[in-house]
């Protein structure tokens, strides 16, 4: 049965007869099921098992990393929970906005009309983008609108989904899964939490390519690898190192030759002087003179 599943898996066929180094696969589920039914529903767990069957057998000869771009939280649905409706907030009016991006979910962006930001801002418990927490890295890009708002976990500004994401990433429901299997990863190794930015340098190391400038560190995932996980050094980097060492060696050789030649010149000059001037040897005596 297991062998039959592997034969029927279309993703296994990708690697047969093709010279592939890196393949990405995105699954729209269980996210779509989580939105519709919530992350604690039986249907969501069933969707997770379906994805597990899809990747079954790929890890026999390949390094497989399974992760996600966000978590999923259950949206509160009860009589005592009030929906966040912007137009019901006293003093708030859509007429004061030039543009707004408040889709289905817990976050949104507002672009107030000129001169209206101070009127709009106090009536919403949100951030001006320059005051967004630094840890969110969401304040300096020019495409970010002046006013940013997001709800607490479990609440949405607009929408009817039973499951949502895009909450503060410090919330436990927003944490991601990470699983990596064979052949370069340790078996049955349980590691502590780490930020997803460190996955990129890990992938570059496995592919033996030089990563672009990023905030991730291979040291945060190195312990997962069977090998020591030494950082990959590209051929161009090795060439630069070789040229640098050659230049230093050449400079030191030049200094050595100059110093040696100068010392030889001094000795020859001294020998010539000694040949022309007789050497005088004096015997020193201490005299005791009584006055």
DSSP string of 48-90? HHHHHHHTTTGGGTS-EEEE-S---EEPP-STTPPP--GGGST
57, 4 in Cβ contact below 8 A? no
Amino acid 279: pLDDT: 30
Sign of CA dihedral 146, 147, 153, 159: negative
pLDDT value at position 105? 63
Which of the following CATH numbers is that of domain 86-162: 3.50.50.60, 3.40.30.10, 3.30.1360.180, 3.30.930.10? Answer: 3.30.1360.180
Q: State yes or no: cis peptide before 183, omega within 30 of 0.
A: yes
* pLDDT for the residue 210: 92
Residues of the chain with CATH 3.30.1360.180: 86-162
Number of C-beta neighbours around residue 277 at 10 A: 7
Q: What is the mean pLDDT of each run of 10 residues along the chain (291 residues)?
A: 49 70 79 79 84 71 79 67 62 69 65 70 65 83 81 71 76 81 85 88 90 90 79 47 50 54 54 39 31 28
Query: Distance between CA atoms of 58 and 73, rounded to whole angstroms?
Result: 30
Nearest to 194 by CA among 209, 177, 212: 177
Give residue 63's pLDDT: 82
For the domain made up of 2-76+169-224, give the CATH fold.
Alkaline Phosphatase, subunit A (3.40.720)
* Secondary structure element (H or E) that encloses residue 239, with its range: helix 235-276
pLDDT at 175: 81
Query: CB of 220 within 8 A of CB of 194?
Result: yes
Which part of the chain has CATH 3.40.720.10?
2-76+169-224
Rg (CA), the chain: 35
The position carrying tokens 């005299």 is 287
pLDDT of residue 289: 30
Q: What is the pLDDT of residue 12?
A: 66
Can you give the pLDDT at residue 102? Answer: 67
Question: pLDDT at position 241, please?
Answer: 45
**pLDDT score at 172:** 81
């Amino acid at each position: 049965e297991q062998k039959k599943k592997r034969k029927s898996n279309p993703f296994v066929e990708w690697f047969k007869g093709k010279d592939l180094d890196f393949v990405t696969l995105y699954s729209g589920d269980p996210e779509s099921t989580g939105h519709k039914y919530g992350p604690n529903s039986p249907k969501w767990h069933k969707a997770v098992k379906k994805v597990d069957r899809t990747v079954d057998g790929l890890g026999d000869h390949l390094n497989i990393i399974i992760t996600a771009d966000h978590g999923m939280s259950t949206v509160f649905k009860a009589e005592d929970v009030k929906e966040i409706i912007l137009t019901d907030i006293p003093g708030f009016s859509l007429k004061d906005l030039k543009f707004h991006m408040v889709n289905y979910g817990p976050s949104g962006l507002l672009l107030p009309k000129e001169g209206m930001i101070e009127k709009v801002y106090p009536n919403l418990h949100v951030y001006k983008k320059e005051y967004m927490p630094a840890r969110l890295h969401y304040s300096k890009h020019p495409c970010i609108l002046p006013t940013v708002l997001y709800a607490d976990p479990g609440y949405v500004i607009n929408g009817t989904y039973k499951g949502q994401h895009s909450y503060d990433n410090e919330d436990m429901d927003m944490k991601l899964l990470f699983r990596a299997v064979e052949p370069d990863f340790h078996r049955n190794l349980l590691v502590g939490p780490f930020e997803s930015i460190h996955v990129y340098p890990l992938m570059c190391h496995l592919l033996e390519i030089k990563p672009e400038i990023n905030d991730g560190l291979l040291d945060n995932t190195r312990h997962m690898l069977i090998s020591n996980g030494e950082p990959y050094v590209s051929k161009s980097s090795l060439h630069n190192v070789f040229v640098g060492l050659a230049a230093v060696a050449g400079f030191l050789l030049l200094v050595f030759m100059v110093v040696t030649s100068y010392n030889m010149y001094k000795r020859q000059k001294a020998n010539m002087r000694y040949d022309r001037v007789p050497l005088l040897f004096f015997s020193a005596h201490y005299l005791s003179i009584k006055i």
